[in-house]
Chain A
Amino acid sequence: MLKPKHFFLLPALLTLAAIILFPLIFTVRVSFSSWDVYQTGLDFIGGRNYARLFQDTRFWESLLRLSGMSFITVTLQYVLGFALALAVWKKMPGGRVFRVLFLVPMMTTPVVMSVIWRTVFHESLGPANDLLSMIGIGPVPWLSSATGAFISVVIVEVWQWTPFMFLLLLAGLVSLPREPYLAAAIDGASPTRTFWQVTFPLMAPISIGAIIIRLIEASKIMDTVNVMTSGGPGTATETPSYYIYIRGLRDFQVGYSAALSLAYLVLMIITLTIIAKLLMRFLVGKDD
C-alpha cells in the first residue's frame, strides 16, 4: 500500500529511470532496428543485427585482443601498485610527497596523455627512440609494428592506471589490523613469509575489488587506442569499444552498433562475474 512517505522516493526513482533505464531500454529497441545512415528511425528487423554480430570476426577478434590486453595491463598494474603501496606504507622519508606524485598520472586526461605518449613514441622525432639510440638500441617501431603498438598501448595504460591500484591497495594496507603482524613477529616470521602468510591473505578482498574495478575500466579502453594507434597497424590494437565507436559513430550503423554494445555488455557482465567468483575462490577460499 502506497503511503505518502513512498513519494519521497519518486525523485530518485525518476532520476534512475531517466539516466539508466531509458537509455538501456532505448538501446535495446534500437538494436532491433536497421537505423543506419540511409534508414532513419526505428523500424523492426527482428534479430538480424544479432545474427550479423555472430559472423563478425572483427568483433570477436577484438574481444580476444582485449582479453589479452586487460590481463596484461591489470596484472602489471596490480603488481606495481602493490609494490608501490608497500613501499610507502611504512614510514619513509618523503613518503607523503611520493604518495601525491604516484597519483599524478591518474589525474591527467587520458586523451591529453595519449597525445603526449604518441609524441614520446614517435619513431623519428620522439624521445623514446632518441634515448634508446644512446645505448645503441633502435629505432624501435613503437607504433608501426603490431607488437610495438600493442606494447605501447599497454605501457600507457599501466602508467596511467597503476596509481589507481596503488591508491586502493594503500587504503587497504593502512586499515589492516596490527595483531596478526605482532603474532608473526613473535613467531619470528621473515618479512617474505609475513607478506605471503599475513599481508597478502588479509589484502585479498580489497585486491579482488581493485582488480575487478580495473578490469571493468580496462574493458572500456577506447581513447588511448583512438589517439595513439587508431586500432592499427592493421587491427593489432583494435578493441571492442573502438570497434563499436567506428561502427556507430564513423559508419553511422546505429542499429548494429547498439546490438554490438548490448552483446558486449552481456559478455562483460558474465565474464567479470566468473572472474570475481574464481578470484574469491582462489584468494579468499569461498564463493561469496
Chain B
Amino acid sequence: MKNKSTGSISALAIAAAGILPPAVATAEDYTKYGVVSDLPGTCNYAAIDAMDYSGETLNVITHAIPVIGEPTALHAEQFAELTGAEVNVVHVPFGDLFQRIMIPFQSGQNAYDVLFYASLWIGDFNRFLAPVPEAYTNSSGMSDVTDSFKGVATWNGQMIQYPMDGDRHYLKYRTDVFENPEMQAKFKDATGRDLTVPATWEEYNEVASVFSGFDWDDDGELNYGSAEVAKRDDLMFSAFISRAAPYAKHPDVGGGFFFDLETMEPMINTPGFVRGLELFVEAQKAFPPGGSSFGLGDEIFSFGGGQTLMSYSWDDAFIQAQQEDSRIRNAVGAAPLPGAKEVWNRETGQWDSFEEPNRAPYMTWGWSSAVSKESENQKMAFDFLCFFSNEANTFHDLQIGRFGVNPYRDSHFDSTFWQGLGWDADVADSYVTTLSEMEDSTNRVYDLRVPGVGQFMSSMANGVAEALAGQKSAQEALDGVAKEWSDIVDRIGADRLRDAYANVVRLEDNED
C-alpha cells in the first residue's frame, strides 16, 4: 500500500530498470482483498504493492457488470489501492462494446489504455494493439496458460492479447436421469437401445426428444430435453458452430473450416454445415416452450435451474447448476460435444464414415484483454492485466460463476480445486477431464477471427434463424449466407482476409 515508503522506493527502482519485479516474499496480509492468501507469482499482491503509480491514470473499458465487468471493477480498485494509480473503469453492454472500442481506434483517439472484449475480435483489433512485452509473456501466470489459449492470444506469431479467460463449448447433462434405472428402461422402450451420453448429434436429438414433455424429476413441473442458445442476435452463431463442426471439420482435411484458405470460397453451405443445421432445426421439438427464442441467459437458467436434461455452450450453465443453492448440485456431468459418424470431405466431395464419432471441439470465443498501442501508460496497463490474472485473483474469480472467468491455465484442470468448492469427485473429474481433453484434440475448431467477423457471424446467424423459424430450408438458408459471405469477401478483400484467416487455420491444423 502506498503509505509505505519502501513500496515507492522499490517501485521507482523497478521502473527505472524497466523490468518486472520478481515475486516478493512478504508477510503482508492481503486477505482483506478477498483472496485466501497471496500466492507466489510474478504479479502477486506483494509485487504490485511494491509499485508506485501515484499521480498516473489508467482508463479501462470492459463489459457490464457482472460478467467480466465485476472482476474488472474489483481488481481495478485493488490495483489503485496498491499502487496509488487512478483507475477509471467504463462498463459497456455487450452489444455496444465493439463500436465503443473501434470508434476511438479508427479515429486515432487514445480513449482507453486497457480493453476487455471478446477474443474473436482480434481480427479487427490487432492493428491497434500493443504486443505483450517479453517480461509478461515470461511471467509465471503466462507460462501456465494452455497452449491453445496462448494461440488464441497470438496474431502473426506475436502475442497481442493478454489471456485472462478460457472458453469452450461442451455438453452438460443430468447424471441423476441418465443413471436412473427407471429412465433407462423408459428410454430403451422408446428407442430399443441403451441410454448413453450422446456421442453424436443424432443421438443427442433422440435422447432430448424422449425426455421432453413430462416430469422426469418429480418436481411437479414439466421437463424438456434440450436448452440451446437459439435467439438470432444472442450468440446463437456459436451454438450452430458447435452443432455443425463434427460434420464439416474433417480430421484429415486441413486448409480451412469456414473458408477454403486458398480460394477464400465459403464452405458454409457445404453438406456438413447443412446437416448440422438440419439437426438444429429438428432439435427444436425437444426445446422447452419458448426455447427457440432462448438467449444465453435463458439457456443457463433452463439447464442450471433443472428444467432441461441437456445443454451445451459455455461454462455458465454448468457453474450455475453447481452453485451452493442449486437443487441439482452434483446431479450434473460434463462431456465432450457430440460428434458425427458421417463427415463431409470437401476434397473428395463425399461423406466419409467413421466407426468412432468424429469430434471437433469448439474452442469458442471468450473474454480477452489487451493494451492499446496508443496508450501512454503501457507498462502500468500490462502490470494491471498481469495483476488481474495473478494466481490468487484467478483462483478467486474462477469460484464465482457470475464473474465469467473460466479455466485457461493448466493448474485450473485440477479436480481437487473444484472438489474443494463442494463438488462431488465424479462431477469435478468429468468437468476437468472434458475441458483438459479438448486441449489435446487435434481436430479443434476456432472462431472466424478475421476482419469483419461481426458481419460474417451476423449473416450466418440470420440464415440459421431463418431456417429455425421455417422461413427457408437449411440448404436455402446457408446458400444465402454463402452468397453474403462472398460479397463480404469481395468488399473486404480476399487477400486481406486470407492473411488473417491463416492465423485461424494454423491453430486448427495444429501448425503452431
Contacts and interface: CB of A to CB of B under 8 A. Distances in A.
Nearest to A234: B469
A236 B288 contact: no
B496 A232 contact: no
A67 interface: no
Contacts of A124: 288-290, 302, 307
B471 to A, nearest CB: 4
Nearest to A41: B106
A220 B458 CA distance: 22
B290 A232 contact: no
A129 B469 contact: no
In this complex, the member of B231, B289, B452, B491 whose beta carbon has the largest number of chain A beta carbons within 10 angstroms is: B289
B233 A144 contact: no
A37 B452 contact: yes
B465 A141 contact: no
A234 B289 contact: no
Contacts of A233: 232, 292-293, 465, 468-469
Contacts of B106: 40-41
Contacts of A249: 95-96, 99
Interface string B268-303: 000000000000000000001111110000000010
Contacts of A81: none
B346 to A, nearest CB: 27
A226 B348 CA distance: 43
In this complex, the member of A129, A145, A232 whose beta carbon has the largest number of chain B beta carbons within 10 angstroms is: A232
Interface string A141-162: 1111110010000000000000
A122 B233 CA distance: 18
A7 interface: no
A249 B455 CA distance: 11
A108 B446 CA distance: 43
Contacts of A252: 98-99, 102, 124, 454-455
Contact of B124 (A37, A41, A145): A37
Contact of B451 (A37, A144, A234): A37
A282 to B, nearest CB: 36
Nearest to B291: A144
Interface string B458-487: 100010011011111000000000000000
Interface in A126-147: 129, 139, 141-146
A230 interface: yes
A9 B95 CA distance: 41
Contacts of A37: 102, 124, 451-452, 454-455
A199 interface: no
B307 A38 contact: no
B232 A232 contact: yes
B469 A146 contact: yes
B289 A235 contact: no
A250 B96 CA distance: 8
A40 B125 CA distance: 12
Contacts of B290: 122-124, 141-144
Interface in A225-276: 229-236, 246, 249-253
Contact of B466 (A36, A122, A129, A235): A235
B471 A232 contact: no
A119 to B, nearest CB: 11
Contacts of A41: 106
B13 interface: no
A77 interface: no
B102 A129 contact: no
Dominant secondary structure of chain A at its interface with chain B: loop
A34 interface: yes
A130 to B, nearest CB: 11
Interface in B435-466: 451-452, 454-455, 458, 462, 465-466
A251 B454 contact: yes
A234 B468 contact: yes
B260 interface: no
A69 to B, nearest CB: 17
A249 to B, nearest CB: 5
Given A34-B491, A37-B455, A38-B492, A250 B233 contact: yes
B234 A230 contact: yes
A253 B459 CA distance: 13
Nearest to A138: B289
Given A36-B491, A38-B124, A252-B102, A231 B232 contact: yes
Contacts of A146: 469-471
A142 B290 CA distance: 8
Given A34-B491, A38-B124, A123 B102 contact: no
Nearest to A230: B233
Nearest to A228: B293
Contacts of B454: 37, 250-252
Contact of B455 (A129, A141, A235, A251): A251
Contacts of B491: 34, 36
Nearest to A55: B487
A34 B232 CA distance: 26
Contact of A36 (B96, B291, B452, B469): B452
Nearest to A118: B293
Contacts of A251: 452, 454-455, 458
A249 B94 CA distance: 12
Contacts of A143: 290, 293
Interface in B82-107: 95-96, 98-99, 102, 106-107
A242 to B, nearest CB: 9
Given A235-B466, A249-B99, A123 B289 contact: yes
A109 to B, nearest CB: 15
Interface of B: 95-96, 98-99, 102, 106-107, 124, 231-234, 288-293, 302, 307, 451-452, 454-455, 458, 462, 465-466, 468-472, 491-493, 496
13 contacts: A36-B492, A37-B455, A38-B124, A123-B290, A144-B292, A146-B469, A230-B231, A234-B465, A234-B471, A235-B469, A249-B95, A250-B458, A252-B454
Given A36-B492, A124-B289, A230-B234, 4 more contacts: A37-B454, A234-B468, A234-B470, A251-B455
The 4 closest A-B pairs by CB, nearest first: A123-B290, A234-B469, A123-B289, A233-B469
Interface of A: 34, 36-38, 40-41, 58, 122-124, 129, 139, 141-146, 149, 229-236, 246, 249-253
